[in-house]
Structure 1
């Protein structure tokens, strides 16, 4: 089994609402990344790397386990 991180999209939406970063452009700016990169990760077209994960947690003032879960690579990782 190979484990990967899956973004908890429901939880991400809640935290974004609490922090006021409701648009992808606002969140990408707070993370210091390109909005296209954020979009690809949110749509499941790209796996988040360590810098993305750290930037997301920092921008939302959230812990890793608040935003991600560990799943089997065979599961849908989007």
Structure 2
């Protein structure tokens, strides 16, 4: 069964406040992600990816993975709504407004940060 990762919202917000981040913009900058990504993860519309998790651990040190995230198995964790597919053929979308190409040999999209893949074709 696949594993899912969910943000511990209260702990994340507390850690950000204690670290001195006055806004989501400042926190996003320190994490190396877009401000909107923080909002989508916080609302449950997006599962935190590797860049979000790594950025949170760096920006909110000495917090640990277990402090900020929880891991579940199988079905989505409670209170986490399904992420609607916004582009045909993609399991999720975390792109900016520019069109992205897909490598048909691997099924991976090239829409991630700095050319890293961000989603797999369904």
Normalising by structure 2, what TM-score?
Answer: 0.57
Q: Which runs of 5+ in 2 are unaligned?
A: 81-122
- Higher relative helix content: 1
Q: Take 1:17 and 1:54, find their aligned partners in 2: how far apart are those partners?
A: 18
Q: 1:27 to 1:56 in 2, by over 3 A?
A: same
Residue 44 of structure 1: aligned partner: 44
Higher relative contact order (CA 8 A, sep 6+): 1
How many pairs does the alignment contain?
Answer: 78
Q: Secondary structure at the match of 1:66?
A: helix
Residue 26 of structure 1: aligned partner: 26
Residue 2 of structure 2: aligned partner: 2
Contact 1:71 1:77 in 2 (8 A): no
Q: 1:43 to 1:73 in 2, by over 3 A?
A: farther
Q: Take 1:52 and 1:8, find their aligned partners in 2: how far apart are those partners?
A: 13
The structure having more radius of gyration, on CA atoms, is 2
Normalising by structure 1, what TM-score?
Answer: 0.84
Residue 78 of structure 2: aligned partner: 76
Across the aligned residues of Structure 1 and Structure 2, the Cα RMSD in angstroms comes to 1.6
